[in-house]
Structure 1
Protein backbone atom coordinates (compact mmCIF):
# COMPACT_ATOMS: atom_id res chain seq x y z
CA UNK A 1 0.00 0.00 0.00
CA UNK A 2 1.25 3.48 -0.78
CA UNK A 3 1.87 6.16 1.84
CA UNK A 4 -1.39 7.94 1.07
CA UNK A 5 -3.31 4.70 1.59
CA UNK A 6 -1.65 4.11 4.93
CA UNK A 7 -2.40 7.65 6.00
CA UNK A 8 -6.07 7.15 5.16
CA UNK A 9 -6.17 4.08 7.36
CA UNK A 10 -4.55 6.10 10.13
CA UNK A 11 -7.27 8.70 9.89
CA UNK A 12 -9.94 5.98 9.80
CA UNK A 13 -8.49 4.42 12.95
CA UNK A 14 -8.40 7.76 14.75
CA UNK A 15 -11.94 8.71 13.71
CA UNK A 16 -13.45 5.35 14.69
CA UNK A 17 -11.55 5.42 17.99
CA UNK A 18 -13.15 8.78 18.77
CA UNK A 19 -16.58 7.43 17.85
CA UNK A 20 -16.04 4.38 20.05
CA UNK A 21 -14.91 6.56 22.97
CA UNK A 22 -18.03 8.71 22.61
CA UNK A 23 -20.23 5.63 22.32
CA UNK A 24 -18.66 4.02 25.39
CA UNK A 25 -19.12 7.26 27.33
CA UNK A 26 -22.79 7.31 26.35
CA UNK A 27 -23.18 3.72 27.52
CA UNK A 28 -21.57 4.60 30.85
CA UNK A 29 -23.45 7.83 31.48
CA UNK A 30 -26.83 7.43 29.80
CA UNK A 31 -27.40 3.71 30.18
CA UNK A 32 -25.41 3.24 33.37
CA UNK A 33 -22.73 0.93 34.66
CA UNK A 34 -25.06 -0.83 37.09
CA UNK A 35 -25.98 -4.26 35.66
CA UNK A 36 -29.48 -4.04 34.26
CA UNK A 37 -31.54 -6.27 31.99
CA UNK A 38 -32.59 -3.14 30.10
CA UNK A 39 -29.09 -2.08 29.01
CA UNK A 40 -28.78 -2.01 25.24
CA UNK A 41 -32.19 -0.77 24.14
CA UNK A 42 -33.88 -3.49 26.20
CA UNK A 43 -32.95 -6.27 23.77
CA UNK A 44 -31.53 -9.45 25.29
CA UNK A 45 -32.90 -11.99 22.81
CA UNK A 46 -34.89 -11.78 19.60
CA UNK A 47 -36.57 -15.17 19.36
CA UNK A 48 -37.53 -18.22 21.37
CA UNK A 49 -37.63 -20.55 18.35
CA UNK A 50 -35.46 -23.55 19.23
CA UNK A 51 -34.26 -24.27 15.66
CA UNK A 52 -33.27 -20.62 15.21
CA UNK A 53 -31.42 -20.56 18.52
CA UNK A 54 -29.52 -23.75 17.69
CA UNK A 55 -28.60 -22.38 14.25
CA UNK A 56 -27.47 -19.09 15.77
CA UNK A 57 -25.44 -20.98 18.35
CA UNK A 58 -23.62 -22.77 15.57
CA UNK A 59 -23.15 -19.52 13.63
CA UNK A 60 -21.67 -17.75 16.63
CA UNK A 61 -18.77 -20.23 16.60
CA UNK A 62 -17.41 -18.34 13.58
CA UNK A 63 -16.46 -15.61 16.05
CA UNK A 64 -14.99 -17.86 18.73
CA UNK A 65 -11.25 -17.44 19.38
CA UNK A 66 -10.56 -21.07 18.45
CA UNK A 67 -12.05 -20.64 14.97
CA UNK A 68 -10.45 -17.27 14.29
CA UNK A 69 -7.08 -18.59 15.46
CA UNK A 70 -7.33 -21.64 13.20
CA UNK A 71 -8.19 -19.44 10.22
CA UNK A 72 -5.30 -17.05 10.90
CA UNK A 73 -2.83 -19.93 11.31
CA UNK A 74 -3.94 -21.58 8.08
CA UNK A 75 -3.69 -18.34 6.11
CA UNK A 76 -0.13 -17.91 7.35
CA UNK A 77 0.96 -21.52 6.89
CA UNK A 78 -0.47 -22.21 3.43
CA UNK A 79 -1.16 -18.73 2.08
CA UNK A 80 1.38 -18.46 -0.74
CA UNK A 81 1.10 -22.14 -1.66
CA UNK A 82 -2.59 -21.68 -2.39
CA UNK A 83 -2.18 -18.16 -3.85
CA UNK A 84 -4.23 -16.78 -0.99
CA UNK A 85 -1.72 -14.05 -0.10
CA UNK A 86 1.14 -12.52 -2.04
CA UNK A 87 3.87 -13.11 0.55
CA UNK A 88 4.50 -14.56 4.01
CA UNK A 89 4.27 -11.01 5.34
CA UNK A 90 0.59 -10.94 4.39
CA UNK A 91 -0.18 -14.11 6.31
CA UNK A 92 1.90 -12.92 9.26
CA UNK A 93 -0.06 -9.66 9.29
CA UNK A 94 -3.33 -11.59 9.68
CA UNK A 95 -1.83 -13.72 12.46
CA UNK A 96 -0.42 -10.71 14.31
CA UNK A 97 -3.68 -8.76 13.98
CA UNK A 98 -5.56 -11.76 15.39
CA UNK A 99 -3.38 -11.89 18.51
CA UNK A 100 -3.69 -8.13 18.96
CA UNK A 101 -7.48 -8.31 18.56
CA UNK A 102 -7.82 -10.94 21.29
CA UNK A 103 -5.73 -8.83 23.66
CA UNK A 104 -7.83 -5.76 22.84
CA UNK A 105 -10.96 -7.69 23.80
CA UNK A 106 -9.46 -8.52 27.19
CA UNK A 107 -8.26 -4.95 27.71
CA UNK A 108 -11.63 -3.33 27.05
CA UNK A 109 -13.72 -5.91 28.89
CA UNK A 110 -11.64 -5.48 32.04
CA UNK A 111 -11.75 -1.71 31.78
CA UNK A 112 -15.55 -1.54 31.51
CA UNK A 113 -16.55 -4.72 33.40
CA UNK A 114 -20.21 -4.64 32.34
CA UNK A 115 -22.40 -7.64 33.07
CA UNK A 116 -24.15 -9.80 30.50
CA UNK A 117 -27.93 -10.09 30.11
CA UNK A 118 -29.78 -12.07 32.75
CA UNK A 119 -29.69 -15.77 31.91
CA UNK A 120 -26.64 -15.55 29.63
CA UNK A 121 -24.91 -18.36 31.52
CA UNK A 122 -27.89 -20.70 31.25
CA UNK A 123 -29.36 -22.52 28.27
CA UNK A 124 -31.91 -25.23 27.64
CA UNK A 125 -30.96 -27.70 24.93
CA UNK A 126 -33.91 -28.82 22.78
CA UNK A 127 -35.05 -32.35 23.58
CA UNK A 128 -35.21 -33.26 19.90
CA UNK A 129 -31.43 -33.11 19.61
CA UNK A 130 -29.40 -36.29 20.25
CA UNK A 131 -28.16 -36.44 23.85
CA UNK A 132 -24.59 -36.89 22.64
CA UNK A 133 -24.49 -33.27 21.41
CA UNK A 134 -26.13 -31.83 24.53
CA UNK A 135 -22.93 -30.43 26.04
CA UNK A 136 -21.60 -29.03 22.78
CA UNK A 137 -24.86 -27.28 21.90
CA UNK A 138 -25.21 -25.90 25.42
CA UNK A 139 -21.74 -24.33 25.16
CA UNK A 140 -22.73 -22.53 21.98
CA UNK A 141 -25.77 -20.94 23.64
CA UNK A 142 -24.18 -19.47 26.77
CA UNK A 143 -21.70 -16.74 27.53
CA UNK A 144 -19.71 -15.83 30.63
CA UNK A 145 -17.36 -13.08 31.68
CA UNK A 146 -17.85 -9.40 30.99
CA UNK A 147 -20.08 -8.19 28.18
CA UNK A 148 -18.84 -4.88 26.78
CA UNK A 149 -17.63 -4.82 24.11
CA UNK A 150 -18.58 -8.13 22.52
CA UNK A 151 -15.45 -10.19 21.95
CA UNK A 152 -17.06 -12.02 19.05
CA UNK A 153 -17.98 -8.76 17.31
CA UNK A 154 -14.55 -7.24 17.93
CA UNK A 155 -12.64 -10.38 16.97
CA UNK A 156 -14.51 -11.00 13.73
CA UNK A 157 -14.16 -7.33 12.76
CA UNK A 158 -10.39 -7.53 13.17
CA UNK A 159 -9.82 -10.97 11.64
CA UNK A 160 -12.38 -10.83 8.84
CA UNK A 161 -11.24 -7.28 8.06
CA UNK A 162 -7.58 -8.36 8.01
CA UNK A 163 -8.51 -11.17 5.62
CA UNK A 164 -10.44 -8.78 3.36
CA UNK A 165 -7.46 -6.43 3.31
CA UNK A 166 -4.84 -9.12 2.71
CA UNK A 167 -6.26 -11.98 0.64
CA UNK A 168 -6.03 -12.33 -3.12
CA UNK A 169 -9.40 -14.05 -3.49
CA UNK A 170 -12.05 -12.27 -5.57
CA UNK A 171 -12.33 -8.51 -5.89
CA UNK A 172 -11.54 -6.16 -3.04
CA UNK A 173 -15.14 -4.95 -2.91
CA UNK A 174 -16.47 -8.50 -2.61
CA UNK A 175 -13.96 -9.37 0.10
CA UNK A 176 -14.99 -6.39 2.22
CA UNK A 177 -18.67 -7.13 1.60
CA UNK A 178 -18.17 -10.74 2.70
CA UNK A 179 -16.28 -9.59 5.79
CA UNK A 180 -19.03 -7.11 6.69
CA UNK A 181 -21.70 -9.79 6.23
CA UNK A 182 -19.77 -12.22 8.42
CA UNK A 183 -19.35 -9.65 11.19
CA UNK A 184 -23.05 -8.72 11.00
CA UNK A 185 -24.20 -12.34 11.21
CA UNK A 186 -21.94 -13.24 14.12
CA UNK A 187 -22.94 -10.06 15.95
CA UNK A 188 -26.62 -10.76 15.36
CA UNK A 189 -26.19 -14.31 16.66
CA UNK A 190 -24.81 -12.99 19.96
CA UNK A 191 -27.94 -10.91 20.52
CA UNK A 192 -30.35 -13.60 19.34
CA UNK A 193 -29.03 -16.24 21.75
CA UNK A 194 -29.22 -13.67 24.54
CA UNK A 195 -25.57 -13.40 25.64
CA UNK A 196 -25.10 -9.77 24.59
CA UNK A 197 -27.01 -6.52 24.33
CA UNK A 198 -27.08 -4.54 21.11
CA UNK A 199 -24.72 -1.91 22.55
CA UNK A 200 -22.18 -4.65 23.27
CA UNK A 201 -21.92 -5.79 19.65
CA UNK A 202 -21.99 -2.23 18.31
CA UNK A 203 -19.14 -1.37 20.65
CA UNK A 204 -17.25 -4.46 19.53
CA UNK A 205 -17.54 -3.54 15.86
CA UNK A 206 -16.39 0.02 16.51
CA UNK A 207 -13.45 -1.04 18.68
CA UNK A 208 -12.43 -3.76 16.23
CA UNK A 209 -12.54 -1.32 13.33
CA UNK A 210 -10.30 1.10 15.21
CA UNK A 211 -7.75 -1.62 15.99
CA UNK A 212 -7.80 -2.93 12.42
CA UNK A 213 -7.20 0.54 11.04
CA UNK A 214 -4.36 1.08 13.48
CA UNK A 215 -2.79 -2.27 12.56
CA UNK A 216 -2.88 -1.45 8.85
CA UNK A 217 -1.54 2.04 9.44
CA UNK A 218 1.24 0.90 11.74
CA UNK A 219 2.26 -2.33 10.10
CA UNK A 220 1.23 -2.56 6.47
CA UNK A 221 3.54 -5.28 5.04
CA UNK A 222 5.62 -5.02 8.23
CA UNK A 223 4.11 -7.65 10.54
CA UNK A 224 6.83 -7.15 13.16
CA UNK A 225 5.18 -3.82 13.99
CA UNK A 226 1.78 -5.49 14.37
CA UNK A 227 3.27 -8.14 16.65
CA UNK A 228 4.69 -5.21 18.62
CA UNK A 229 1.25 -3.60 18.73
CA UNK A 230 -0.22 -6.84 20.02
CA UNK A 231 2.48 -7.13 22.68
CA UNK A 232 1.79 -3.60 23.89
CA UNK A 233 -1.98 -4.13 23.94
CA UNK A 234 -1.47 -7.48 25.68
CA UNK A 235 0.63 -5.84 28.41
CA UNK A 236 -2.07 -3.20 28.87
CA UNK A 237 -4.71 -5.95 29.07
CA UNK A 238 -2.75 -7.67 31.83
CA UNK A 239 -2.57 -4.38 33.70
CA UNK A 240 -6.30 -3.77 33.35
CA UNK A 241 -7.10 -7.30 34.49
CA UNK A 242 -4.88 -6.91 37.56
CA UNK A 243 -6.82 -3.85 38.73
CA UNK A 244 -8.98 -4.58 41.78
CA UNK A 245 -11.03 -6.64 41.82
CA UNK A 246 -8.41 -8.61 39.92
CA UNK A 247 -9.52 -11.02 37.22
CA UNK A 248 -7.91 -14.21 35.94
CA UNK A 249 -4.54 -13.25 34.46
CA UNK A 250 -3.42 -16.47 32.69
CA UNK A 251 -6.14 -16.41 29.97
CA UNK A 252 -5.22 -12.79 29.23
CA UNK A 253 -1.51 -13.52 29.23
CA UNK A 254 -1.79 -16.11 26.47
CA UNK A 255 -2.29 -13.50 23.75
CA UNK A 256 0.47 -11.30 25.17
CA UNK A 257 2.77 -14.32 24.97
CA UNK A 258 1.64 -15.19 21.45
CA UNK A 259 2.34 -11.68 20.16
CA UNK A 260 5.70 -11.57 21.91
CA UNK A 261 6.81 -14.98 20.65
CA UNK A 262 5.48 -14.36 17.15
CA UNK A 263 7.31 -11.04 16.95
CA UNK A 264 10.61 -12.50 18.14
CA UNK A 265 10.34 -15.37 15.67
CA UNK A 266 9.53 -13.04 12.78
CA UNK A 267 12.48 -10.82 13.67
CA UNK A 268 14.87 -13.78 13.81
CA UNK A 269 13.58 -15.92 10.94
CA UNK A 270 11.47 -13.83 8.54
CA UNK A 271 10.09 -16.80 6.55
CA UNK A 272 10.33 -16.40 2.79
CA UNK A 273 7.71 -19.03 1.94
CA UNK A 274 4.68 -20.84 3.30
CA UNK A 275 4.00 -24.56 3.59
CA UNK A 276 2.24 -27.00 1.32
CA UNK A 277 -0.74 -28.83 2.78
CA UNK A 278 1.31 -31.72 4.19
CA UNK A 279 3.74 -29.42 5.94
CA UNK A 280 0.88 -27.35 7.33
CA UNK A 281 -0.65 -30.49 8.83
CA UNK A 282 2.69 -31.59 10.28
CA UNK A 283 3.01 -28.28 12.08
CA UNK A 284 -0.58 -27.16 12.51
CA UNK A 285 -2.11 -30.23 14.17
CA UNK A 286 0.31 -30.56 17.11
CA UNK A 287 0.57 -26.79 17.50
CA UNK A 288 -3.20 -26.45 17.53
CA UNK A 289 -3.48 -29.26 20.07
CA UNK A 290 -0.97 -27.52 22.33
CA UNK A 291 -2.96 -24.28 22.03
CA UNK A 292 -6.06 -26.14 23.23
CA UNK A 293 -4.20 -27.78 26.12
CA UNK A 294 -2.73 -24.45 27.21
CA UNK A 295 -6.13 -22.78 26.98
CA UNK A 296 -7.98 -25.30 29.14
CA UNK A 297 -5.35 -26.24 31.71
CA UNK A 298 -5.10 -24.25 34.92
CA UNK A 299 -1.56 -22.89 34.70
CA UNK A 300 0.26 -19.97 36.28
CA UNK A 301 0.71 -16.73 34.36
CA UNK A 302 4.48 -17.15 33.73
CA UNK A 303 3.95 -20.67 32.37
CA UNK A 304 1.08 -19.57 30.13
CA UNK A 305 3.07 -16.62 28.74
CA UNK A 306 6.12 -18.82 28.12
CA UNK A 307 4.05 -21.59 26.52
CA UNK A 308 2.10 -19.31 24.20
CA UNK A 309 5.22 -17.35 23.30
CA UNK A 310 6.74 -20.67 22.24
CA UNK A 311 3.61 -21.62 20.31
CA UNK A 312 3.41 -18.23 18.59
CA UNK A 313 7.09 -18.44 17.73
CA UNK A 314 6.83 -21.99 16.43
CA UNK A 315 3.88 -21.05 14.22
CA UNK A 316 5.78 -18.15 12.65
CA UNK A 317 9.01 -20.12 12.29
CA UNK A 318 7.29 -23.29 11.05
CA UNK A 319 7.92 -22.82 7.30
CA UNK A 320 11.63 -22.32 7.89
CA UNK A 321 11.89 -25.16 10.41
CA UNK A 322 10.09 -27.64 8.15
CA UNK A 323 12.19 -26.51 5.20
CA UNK A 324 15.40 -27.17 7.10
CA UNK A 325 14.60 -30.19 9.22
CA UNK A 326 11.35 -31.70 7.96
CA UNK A 327 10.58 -34.29 5.27
CA UNK A 328 11.64 -33.32 1.78
CA UNK A 329 8.06 -33.21 0.51
CA UNK A 330 6.61 -31.32 3.49
CA UNK A 331 7.28 -27.84 2.17
Structure 2
Protein backbone atom coordinates (compact mmCIF):
# COMPACT_ATOMS: atom_id res chain seq x y z
CA UNK A 1 0.00 0.00 0.00
CA UNK A 2 1.06 3.62 -0.47
CA UNK A 3 1.99 5.47 2.73
CA UNK A 4 3.78 8.61 3.93
CA UNK A 5 6.52 7.35 6.26
CA UNK A 6 8.44 9.72 8.53
CA UNK A 7 11.86 8.30 9.42
CA UNK A 8 13.51 11.38 10.93
CA UNK A 9 13.40 15.16 11.13
CA UNK A 10 12.04 16.37 7.76
CA UNK A 11 12.65 12.91 6.31
CA UNK A 12 9.29 11.92 4.88
CA UNK A 13 8.88 9.54 1.94
CA UNK A 14 5.79 8.50 0.00
CA UNK A 15 6.52 4.83 -0.49
CA UNK A 16 5.07 1.35 -0.73
CA UNK A 17 4.75 -0.58 2.53
CA UNK A 18 3.08 -3.84 3.42
CA UNK A 19 -0.62 -3.60 4.18
CA UNK A 20 -1.16 -4.46 7.87
CA UNK A 21 -2.70 -7.81 8.74
CA UNK A 22 -5.95 -7.66 10.69
CA UNK A 23 -5.62 -9.92 13.72
CA UNK A 24 -8.06 -10.91 16.45
CA UNK A 25 -9.97 -7.95 17.88
CA UNK A 26 -8.54 -5.47 15.37
CA UNK A 27 -10.17 -3.48 12.57
CA UNK A 28 -8.67 -2.56 9.20
CA UNK A 29 -9.74 0.65 7.48
CA UNK A 30 -9.49 1.97 3.97
CA UNK A 31 -8.72 5.65 4.50
CA UNK A 32 -11.13 8.08 2.86
CA UNK A 33 -9.95 11.38 4.39
CA UNK A 34 -7.19 12.51 6.73
CA UNK A 35 -6.77 16.17 7.69
CA UNK A 36 -3.42 17.77 8.43
CA UNK A 37 -3.08 18.90 12.03
CA UNK A 38 -0.53 21.54 13.02
CA UNK A 39 0.95 18.85 15.27
CA UNK A 40 1.71 16.80 12.14
CA UNK A 41 3.83 19.61 10.73
CA UNK A 42 5.46 20.10 14.13
CA UNK A 43 6.44 16.41 14.21
CA UNK A 44 7.75 16.66 10.65
CA UNK A 45 9.99 19.63 11.50
CA UNK A 46 11.08 18.88 15.07
CA UNK A 47 9.66 15.61 16.39
CA UNK A 48 7.41 15.15 19.41
CA UNK A 49 7.73 13.69 22.90
CA UNK A 50 5.29 10.86 22.04
CA UNK A 51 6.48 10.16 18.48
CA UNK A 52 8.05 6.75 17.82
CA UNK A 53 9.91 6.50 14.49
CA UNK A 54 9.59 5.34 11.80
CA UNK A 55 5.93 6.29 11.68
CA UNK A 56 3.03 6.92 9.34
CA UNK A 57 1.59 10.20 10.62
CA UNK A 58 -2.04 11.36 10.56
CA UNK A 59 -4.60 11.27 13.37
CA UNK A 60 -7.58 13.31 12.08
CA UNK A 61 -9.10 10.60 9.96
CA UNK A 62 -12.14 8.84 8.58
CA UNK A 63 -12.50 5.69 6.52
CA UNK A 64 -14.39 2.55 5.59
CA UNK A 65 -13.98 -0.76 7.41
CA UNK A 66 -12.72 -3.41 5.00
CA UNK A 67 -11.82 -6.17 7.48
CA UNK A 68 -12.88 -7.09 11.01
CA UNK A 69 -10.69 -9.26 13.20
CA UNK A 70 -11.91 -12.46 14.81
CA UNK A 71 -14.06 -12.00 17.91
CA UNK A 72 -15.11 -8.46 17.01
CA UNK A 73 -18.90 -8.10 16.91
CA UNK A 74 -19.17 -4.31 17.18
CA UNK A 75 -18.54 -3.43 13.53
CA UNK A 76 -19.14 -4.73 10.03
CA UNK A 77 -17.30 -4.50 6.75
CA UNK A 78 -18.53 -1.39 4.95
CA UNK A 79 -19.14 0.71 8.07
CA UNK A 80 -18.18 4.37 7.64
CA UNK A 81 -16.15 5.33 10.71
CA UNK A 82 -14.08 7.99 12.40
CA UNK A 83 -11.42 7.09 14.95
CA UNK A 84 -10.54 8.90 18.17
CA UNK A 85 -6.73 8.63 17.99
CA UNK A 86 -6.00 8.37 21.71
CA UNK A 87 -6.14 4.70 22.69
CA UNK A 88 -6.61 4.40 26.48
CA UNK A 89 -5.82 1.25 28.44
CA UNK A 90 -9.25 1.13 30.09
CA UNK A 91 -7.85 -0.05 33.42
CA UNK A 92 -5.82 2.73 35.02
CA UNK A 93 -7.32 5.06 37.68
CA UNK A 94 -7.97 7.83 35.15
CA UNK A 95 -9.72 5.53 32.69
CA UNK A 96 -11.84 4.08 35.48
CA UNK A 97 -12.76 7.56 36.75
CA UNK A 98 -14.01 8.65 33.32
CA UNK A 99 -11.13 10.77 32.01
CA UNK A 100 -9.44 8.38 29.56
CA UNK A 101 -7.58 11.23 27.82
CA UNK A 102 -5.45 11.30 31.00
CA UNK A 103 -4.72 7.55 30.74
CA UNK A 104 -1.44 6.52 32.36
CA UNK A 105 -0.78 4.08 29.52
CA UNK A 106 -2.06 6.09 26.56
CA UNK A 107 -0.91 5.28 23.05
CA UNK A 108 -1.86 7.41 20.06
CA UNK A 109 -2.57 6.69 16.41
CA UNK A 110 -0.10 8.64 14.29
CA UNK A 111 2.37 8.80 17.20
CA UNK A 112 2.82 5.29 18.65
CA UNK A 113 0.78 3.47 15.98
CA UNK A 114 0.71 4.08 12.23
CA UNK A 115 -1.83 6.69 11.23
CA UNK A 116 -3.99 7.96 8.43
CA UNK A 117 -1.59 9.23 5.77
CA UNK A 118 -1.78 5.89 3.98
CA UNK A 119 -4.20 3.85 1.91
CA UNK A 120 -5.03 1.54 4.84
CA UNK A 121 -4.77 1.75 8.62
CA UNK A 122 -5.11 -0.76 11.44
CA UNK A 123 -7.02 0.11 14.61
CA UNK A 124 -5.44 -1.91 17.46
CA UNK A 125 -7.61 -4.18 19.58
CA UNK A 126 -7.50 -1.96 22.68
CA UNK A 127 -8.79 0.95 20.60
CA UNK A 128 -11.68 -1.15 19.33
CA UNK A 129 -12.44 -2.52 22.79
CA UNK A 130 -12.34 0.91 24.48
CA UNK A 131 -14.72 2.61 22.05
CA UNK A 132 -12.33 4.62 19.87
CA UNK A 133 -14.13 3.76 16.60
CA UNK A 134 -17.22 5.85 15.95
CA UNK A 135 -19.75 5.35 13.16
CA UNK A 136 -20.22 8.36 10.89
CA UNK A 137 -23.81 9.53 10.33
CA UNK A 138 -24.81 9.01 6.70
CA UNK A 139 -25.51 12.73 6.30
CA UNK A 140 -21.87 13.57 7.03
CA UNK A 141 -19.04 13.44 4.48
CA UNK A 142 -15.75 11.69 5.21
CA UNK A 143 -13.95 15.04 4.87
CA UNK A 144 -16.15 16.71 7.50
CA UNK A 145 -15.92 13.65 9.76
CA UNK A 146 -12.12 13.84 9.70
CA UNK A 147 -12.45 17.11 11.63
CA UNK A 148 -14.39 15.50 14.47
CA UNK A 149 -11.18 14.95 16.45
CA UNK A 150 -10.06 18.61 16.52
CA UNK A 151 -13.63 19.63 17.34
CA UNK A 152 -13.61 17.05 20.16
CA UNK A 153 -10.47 18.69 21.57
CA UNK A 154 -12.35 22.01 21.58
CA UNK A 155 -15.30 20.34 23.31
CA UNK A 156 -12.95 19.07 26.02
CA UNK A 157 -11.55 22.56 26.63
CA UNK A 158 -14.96 24.21 26.69
CA UNK A 159 -16.46 21.60 29.00
CA UNK A 160 -13.61 22.30 31.42
CA UNK A 161 -14.14 26.07 31.23
CA UNK A 162 -17.92 25.66 31.55
CA UNK A 163 -19.01 28.26 29.01
CA UNK A 164 -22.60 29.19 29.77
CA UNK A 165 -25.42 31.40 28.53
CA UNK A 166 -24.42 35.05 28.35
CA UNK A 167 -20.66 34.54 28.72
CA UNK A 168 -18.16 36.70 26.88
CA UNK A 169 -15.48 34.48 25.33
CA UNK A 170 -12.14 35.49 23.84
CA UNK A 171 -10.42 33.16 21.36
CA UNK A 172 -6.76 33.98 20.73
CA UNK A 173 -5.87 32.61 17.31
CA UNK A 174 -7.99 32.39 14.17
CA UNK A 175 -6.65 29.17 12.76
CA UNK A 176 -8.87 26.11 12.26
CA UNK A 177 -9.07 25.36 15.99
CA UNK A 178 -9.79 28.99 16.78
CA UNK A 179 -12.76 28.97 14.40
CA UNK A 180 -14.04 25.67 15.82
CA UNK A 181 -13.80 27.19 19.30
CA UNK A 182 -15.60 30.33 18.10
CA UNK A 183 -18.55 28.44 16.69
CA UNK A 184 -18.71 26.02 19.61
CA UNK A 185 -18.78 28.92 22.09
CA UNK A 186 -21.84 30.33 20.31
CA UNK A 187 -23.53 26.92 20.55
CA UNK A 188 -22.77 26.89 24.29
CA UNK A 189 -24.62 30.18 24.73
CA UNK A 190 -21.86 32.80 24.64
CA UNK A 191 -23.34 36.24 23.97
CA UNK A 192 -20.13 37.69 22.56
CA UNK A 193 -17.14 35.91 21.02
CA UNK A 194 -14.03 38.00 20.39
CA UNK A 195 -11.29 36.66 18.11
CA UNK A 196 -7.68 37.90 18.26
CA UNK A 197 -5.31 37.20 15.34
CA UNK A 198 -2.10 38.75 13.98
CA UNK A 199 -1.60 36.75 10.76
CA UNK A 200 -2.66 38.78 7.67
CA UNK A 201 -3.80 35.62 5.89
CA UNK A 202 -5.96 34.50 8.78
CA UNK A 203 -7.33 37.99 9.37
CA UNK A 204 -8.40 38.09 5.71
CA UNK A 205 -10.11 34.70 6.09
CA UNK A 206 -11.87 35.73 9.31
CA UNK A 207 -13.27 38.84 7.62
CA UNK A 208 -14.98 36.64 5.02
CA UNK A 209 -17.00 34.72 7.60
CA UNK A 210 -19.23 35.49 10.54
CA UNK A 211 -16.86 36.81 13.23
CA UNK A 212 -18.49 39.15 15.76
CA UNK A 213 -15.35 40.96 16.87
CA UNK A 214 -11.89 40.67 15.31
CA UNK A 215 -8.86 42.27 16.98
CA UNK A 216 -5.45 42.65 15.31
CA UNK A 217 -2.87 42.90 18.14
CA UNK A 218 -0.34 44.49 15.78
CA UNK A 219 -2.62 47.54 15.57
CA UNK A 220 -4.05 47.83 19.10
CA UNK A 221 -3.33 46.58 22.61
CA UNK A 222 -5.42 43.38 22.70
CA UNK A 223 -6.07 43.61 26.46
CA UNK A 224 -7.35 47.18 26.20
CA UNK A 225 -9.35 46.33 23.07
CA UNK A 226 -11.13 43.48 24.87
CA UNK A 227 -11.91 45.73 27.83
CA UNK A 228 -13.37 48.36 25.49
CA UNK A 229 -15.82 45.79 24.12
CA UNK A 230 -16.70 44.29 27.50
CA UNK A 231 -15.91 44.70 31.20
CA UNK A 232 -13.63 41.70 30.96
CA UNK A 233 -13.94 38.23 29.52
CA UNK A 234 -15.63 35.35 31.30
CA UNK A 235 -13.52 32.83 29.39
CA UNK A 236 -10.27 33.11 27.41
CA UNK A 237 -9.04 30.27 25.19
CA UNK A 238 -5.59 30.69 23.62
CA UNK A 239 -5.73 28.57 20.45
CA UNK A 240 -2.14 29.22 19.44
CA UNK A 241 1.33 28.37 20.74
CA UNK A 242 2.57 31.91 21.45
CA UNK A 243 3.82 32.12 25.08
CA UNK A 244 3.05 35.87 25.34
CA UNK A 245 -0.70 35.45 24.89
CA UNK A 246 -1.15 33.46 28.10
CA UNK A 247 -0.27 36.40 30.35
CA UNK A 248 -2.36 38.69 28.13
CA UNK A 249 -5.27 36.28 28.39
CA UNK A 250 -5.15 36.37 32.17
CA UNK A 251 -5.21 40.20 32.10
CA UNK A 252 -8.34 40.14 29.91
CA UNK A 253 -10.40 38.18 32.42
CA UNK A 254 -13.05 39.70 34.65
CA UNK A 255 -13.30 38.67 38.30
CA UNK A 256 -13.79 34.89 38.61
CA UNK A 257 -12.97 34.47 34.92
CA UNK A 258 -11.58 31.25 33.45
CA UNK A 259 -8.69 30.64 31.08
CA UNK A 260 -7.92 27.33 29.38
CA UNK A 261 -4.34 26.49 28.44
CA UNK A 262 -5.42 24.72 25.26
CA UNK A 263 -2.27 24.76 23.13
CA UNK A 264 1.10 23.33 24.08
CA UNK A 265 4.10 25.67 23.96
CA UNK A 266 7.30 25.08 21.97
CA UNK A 267 10.19 23.36 23.72
CA UNK A 268 12.22 25.95 25.61
CA UNK A 269 9.27 28.30 26.11
CA UNK A 270 7.33 26.32 28.71
CA UNK A 271 8.03 28.72 31.59
CA UNK A 272 6.03 31.95 31.36
CA UNK A 273 5.67 34.96 33.69
CA UNK A 274 2.21 35.21 35.25
CA UNK A 275 0.88 37.81 37.70
CA UNK A 276 0.11 35.73 40.79
CA UNK A 277 -1.69 38.57 42.58
CA UNK A 278 -4.02 39.12 39.63
CA UNK A 279 -5.10 35.49 39.89
CA UNK A 280 -5.36 35.72 43.69
CA UNK A 281 -7.38 38.91 44.06
CA UNK A 282 -9.72 38.28 41.11
CA UNK A 283 -10.23 34.58 41.98
CA UNK A 284 -9.31 33.54 38.45
CA UNK A 285 -9.36 29.90 37.39
CA UNK A 286 -6.76 28.28 35.14
CA UNK A 287 -7.46 24.98 33.39
CA UNK A 288 -5.25 22.75 31.31
CA UNK A 289 -6.87 20.92 28.39
CA UNK A 290 -5.20 18.05 26.58
CA UNK A 291 -6.67 15.95 23.80
CA UNK A 292 -10.15 14.51 24.00
CA UNK A 293 -12.11 11.39 24.82
CA UNK A 294 -13.90 8.97 22.51
CA UNK A 295 -17.21 10.23 23.92
CA UNK A 296 -16.25 13.79 22.96
CA UNK A 297 -15.50 12.55 19.44
CA UNK A 298 -19.02 11.12 19.30
CA UNK A 299 -20.41 14.46 20.47
CA UNK A 300 -18.40 16.17 17.75
CA UNK A 301 -19.84 13.89 15.06
CA UNK A 302 -23.38 14.67 16.24
CA UNK A 303 -22.71 18.42 16.15
CA UNK A 304 -21.23 18.16 12.66
CA UNK A 305 -24.08 15.99 11.38
CA UNK A 306 -26.60 18.51 12.75
CA UNK A 307 -24.80 21.28 10.83
CA UNK A 308 -24.44 23.30 14.03
CA UNK A 309 -20.88 24.13 13.01
CA UNK A 310 -19.97 25.20 9.47
CA UNK A 311 -16.92 23.01 9.14
CA UNK A 312 -16.93 22.83 5.34
CA UNK A 313 -15.94 26.50 5.07
CA UNK A 314 -12.75 25.69 6.98
CA UNK A 315 -11.63 23.05 4.45
CA UNK A 316 -9.81 25.24 1.95
CA UNK A 317 -7.64 22.61 0.25
CA UNK A 318 -7.94 18.98 -0.85
CA UNK A 319 -4.70 17.24 -1.81
CA UNK A 320 -3.48 13.78 -2.74
CA UNK A 321 -1.16 11.74 -0.54
CA UNK A 322 1.69 12.48 -2.96
CA UNK A 323 1.26 16.20 -2.15
CA UNK A 324 1.54 15.81 1.62
CA UNK A 325 4.69 17.92 2.06
CA UNK A 326 3.04 20.64 -0.04
CA UNK A 327 0.10 20.41 2.36
CA UNK A 328 2.44 20.86 5.33
CA UNK A 329 3.82 24.01 3.67
CA UNK A 330 0.30 25.39 3.15
CA UNK A 331 -0.46 24.90 6.84
CA UNK A 332 2.88 26.33 8.03
CA UNK A 333 2.59 29.48 5.91
CA UNK A 334 -1.10 30.11 6.75
CA UNK A 335 -2.01 29.84 3.07
CA UNK A 336 -4.62 27.26 4.01
CA UNK A 337 -6.99 26.60 6.87
CA UNK A 338 -7.82 22.90 6.88
CA UNK A 339 -6.01 20.72 4.35
CA UNK A 340 -7.54 17.28 3.81
CA UNK A 341 -5.76 14.41 2.11
CA UNK A 342 -8.18 12.60 -0.22
CA UNK A 343 -8.53 10.49 -2.29
CA UNK A 344 -5.96 7.85 -1.54
**TM-score, length basis structure 1:** 0.30
> What TM-score do the two structures reach when normalised by structure 2?
0.29
